[in-house]
């Protein structure tokens, strides 16, 4: 069975319980019964997906997915990043509006679940039965990523209650959500606070949809003397701050899985179209450059999928002594979604004018995916996190017990108890060489390891000057992209072993990664602040893959082109 999501073959998948399988299949059936034409009509009409809201509410789908053990009406309730991964991928596969509505709902609910207010948790869980959509009220118009400057205020009243005043901007589902979590400060102090409001309350004013170019409702809302009691306060002080960052930690993972779903659907559409199009007496799929573009696209999507599954294992295995997810999570958000954009570029080169047609999923997918790398912190913000981890990861490996693929019904406890968000640089990792050693017989993995070795030498000759150079974000981004390649490749190898992916596929995948690594090295080479010693090592990172035409053709015909017509969305 192909590793890539195919909703029409989904029935074969294994879950630890019937309910998990049921929600995925019901969701797929709902999308397929709706069909592409109706979906596109709503997309072009910029219609808010109220039908999706109604369906997931009636079916209790978000209740099953979002609530950890001990909450909601199912005694066997558990929170599984694996289930979230699968559902997020399915939503992305059919449209970013559905995905976004789901994504901001989990962002909106998690400050309640992470908070200190037990009563509020049960209340929010019960509310999901009436209206499954939630909203996360963090961003403000004037402050963007500068959360420290939040101007939303809670003013204490003589009777011990509070009045909330202020506005929030870019808030998904802010038009309809009944659990809207709001981040602000206690008036007159610098004390942070998270509290919950309802968009149906008369003192909640939804001003407008800020984007209004697609189906999402990204609201500006204002609270006018909105009454708050202790029952609505979720957390205060440093805990409110940590809950805000930890919520984003849990949820930004969805960005990688949603992006994987989007490009998988685009890939099927592009492949079906190209295969059935005849030009100058031959199929478009027979042109040499098209073969390369399709193979590279497929390899990139396979990489996105393999990385995502492995990162899921680390999210689920996390505990007080294992915070490796702190690296893999921003990579899932940033690298995986950007890989998706690269796939779209290649597919669009193949299908050309067809990619503009309003009846295709493709034209919508290309436009919608562009937003993904920019959500929950830009590429720079995520890279700043990743860069802190470079020394520990590259030079100071620690011992960890090996973990397998985790798809069982355990509750991902630690995600709801992540604690303080400090100490990134001290995070420990297992040795990345273990994975690379296991494929050292593959010619392109061998070349990739030489590139890694040159990168290590570059870091060593850089010494203390590097920290200063990396104060410049432009430089940090280049150094970080090379580092990210090392971790990205490592997790893909680990995952490939668990999924039984062949050596031939992996050798071709590393053909691509060698080219990627070289491209990032050229980027770093061009930076004006490099020292001579650094330049010497950077040049050593630029390498070419070992070609293998026979292997390439085999992957093309047996893996890539075997997917022709395996999926077509219902009309």
Ligand X SMILES: Cc1cc2nc3c(=O)[nH]c(=O)nc-3n(C[C@H](O)[C@H](O)[C@H](O)COP(=O)(O)OP(=O)(O)OC[C@H]3O[C@@H](n4cnc5c(N)ncnc54)[C@H](O)[C@@H]3O)c2cc1C
Binding site for ligand X (CB under 6 A): 104, 136, 138-139, 144-145, 170-172, 211, 218, 371, 375-376, 378, 380-381, 384, 473
3 state DSSP class of 451:
helix
Torsion angle of C-alpha atoms 476, 482, 486, 489, degrees rounded to 10: 120
Phi–psi pair at 507, nearest 5 degrees: -65, -40
Nearer to ligand X, 154 or 180 (CB): 180
Phi–psi pair at 473, nearest 5 degrees: -60, -30
Nearer to ligand X, 145 or 396 (CB): 145
Tokens 């008036």 sit on residue:
187
Residue 276 bridge partners (DSSP)? none
Kindly state the smallest distance separating residue 326's Cβ from ligand X, in Å.
17
Kindly state the smallest distance separating residue 70's Cβ from ligand X, in Å.
27
Kindly state the smallest distance separating residue 523's Cβ from ligand X, in Å.
18
Helix (H) or strand (E) holding 278: strand 278-279
Cα gap 484→486, rounded to integer Å: 5
Q: Which two tokens stand for residue 394?
A: 């590259």
CB atoms within 10 A of CB 368: 22
Kindly state the smallest distance separating residue 363's Cβ from ligand X, in Å.
18
Kindly state the smallest distance separating residue 220's Cβ from ligand X, in Å.
11
Kindly state the smallest distance separating residue 199's Cβ from ligand X, in Å.
13
Return the ∠ at Cα 412 (arms to 171 and 58), rounded to 5°: 55
CA gyration radius, the chain: 24
Helix (H) or strand (E) holding 461: helix 443-462
Strand pairing report for 218-228 and 204-209:
antiparallel
Nearer to ligand X, 1 or 471 (CB): 471
Kindly state the smallest distance separating residue 232's Cβ from ligand X, in Å.
18
Nearer to ligand X, 35 or 423 (CB): 423
Nearer to ligand X, 218 or 509 (CB): 218
Nearer to ligand X, 96 or 514 (CB): 96
Closest CB to ligand X belongs to which residue?
Answer: 144
Kindly state the smallest distance separating residue 257's Cβ from ligand X, in Å.
17
CB 470 within 8 A of CB 462: no
Nearer to ligand X, 97 or 506 (CB): 97
Residue 320 bridge partners (DSSP)? none
Nearer to ligand X, 210 or 564 (CB): 210
């Amino acid at each position: 069975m192909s590793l890539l999501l195919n909703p029409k073959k989904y029935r074969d998948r294994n879950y630890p319980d019937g309910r998990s399988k049921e929600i995925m299949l019901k969701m797929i059936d709902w999308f397929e019964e709706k069909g592409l034409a109706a979906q596109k009509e709503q997309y072009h009409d910029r219609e808010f997906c109220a039908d999706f809201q109604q369906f997931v509410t009636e079916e209790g789908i978000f209740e099953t997915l979002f609530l950890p053990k001990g909450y909601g009406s199912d005694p066997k309730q558990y929170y599984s990043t694996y289930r979230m991964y699968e559902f997020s991928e399915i939503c992305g596969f059919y449209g970013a509006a559905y995905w976004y509505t789901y994504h901001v709902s989990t962002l909106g609910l998690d400050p309640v679940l992470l908070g200190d207010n037990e009563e509020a948790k049960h209340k929010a869980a019960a509310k999901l039965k009436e209206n499954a959509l939630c909203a996360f009220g963090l961003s403000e118009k004037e402050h963007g990523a500068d959360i420290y400057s939040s101007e939303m205020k809670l003013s204490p009243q003589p009777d011990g209650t509070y009045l909330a005043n202020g506005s929030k901007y870019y808030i998904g589902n802010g038009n309809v959500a009944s659990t809207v979590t709001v981040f602000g400060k206690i008036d007159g102090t610098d004390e942070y606070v998270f509290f919950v409001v309802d968009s149906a309350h008369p003192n909640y004013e939804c001003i407008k949809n800020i984007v209004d170019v697609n189906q999402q409702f990204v609201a500006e809302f204002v609270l006018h003397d909105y009454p708050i009691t202790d029952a609505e306060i979720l957390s205060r002080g440093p805990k409110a701050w940590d809950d805000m960052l930890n919520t984003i930690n849990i949820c930004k993972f969805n960005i990688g899985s949603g992006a994987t779903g989007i490009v998988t659907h685009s890939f099927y559409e592009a492949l079906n179209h190209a295969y059935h199009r005849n030009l100058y007496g031959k199929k478009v799929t027979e042109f040499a450059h098209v073969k390369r573009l399709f193979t590279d696209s497929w390899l990139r999507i396979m990489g996105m999928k393999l990385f995502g599954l492995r990162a899921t294992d680390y999210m689920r295995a996390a505990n007080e002594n294992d915070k490796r997810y702190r690296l893999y999570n921003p990579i899932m958000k940033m690298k995986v979604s950007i890989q998706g954009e690269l796939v779209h570029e290649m597919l669009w080169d193949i299908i050309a004018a067809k990619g503009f047609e309003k009846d295709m999923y493709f034209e919508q997918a290309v436009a919608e995916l562009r937003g993904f790398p920019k959500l929950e912190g830009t590429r720079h913000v995520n890279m700043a996190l990743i860069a802190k981890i470079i020394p520990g990861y590259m030079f100071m490996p620690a011992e960890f017990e090996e973990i397998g693929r985790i798809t069982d019904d355990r509750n991902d406890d630690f995600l709801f108890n992540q604690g303080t968000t400090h100490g990134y640089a001290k995070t420990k990792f297992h040795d990345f060489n273990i994975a690379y050693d296991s494929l050292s017989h593959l010619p392109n993995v061998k070349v990739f390891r030489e590139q890694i070795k040159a990168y290590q030498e570059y870091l060593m000759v850089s010494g203390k000057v590097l920290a200063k150079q990396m104060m410049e974000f432009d430089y940090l981004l280049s150094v970080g992209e090379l580092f990210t390649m090392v971790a990205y490749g490592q997790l893909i190898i680990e995952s490939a072993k668990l999924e039984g992916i062949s050596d031939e596929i992996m050798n071709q995948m590393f053909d691509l990664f060698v080219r990627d690594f070289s491209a990032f090295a050229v980027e770093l080479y061009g930076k004006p602040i490099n020292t001579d010693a650094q330049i010497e090592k950077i040049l050593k990172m630029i390498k070419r893959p070992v070609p293998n035409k026979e292997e390439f053709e085999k992957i093309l015909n047996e893996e890539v082109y075997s997917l022709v017509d395996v999926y077509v969305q219902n009309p």
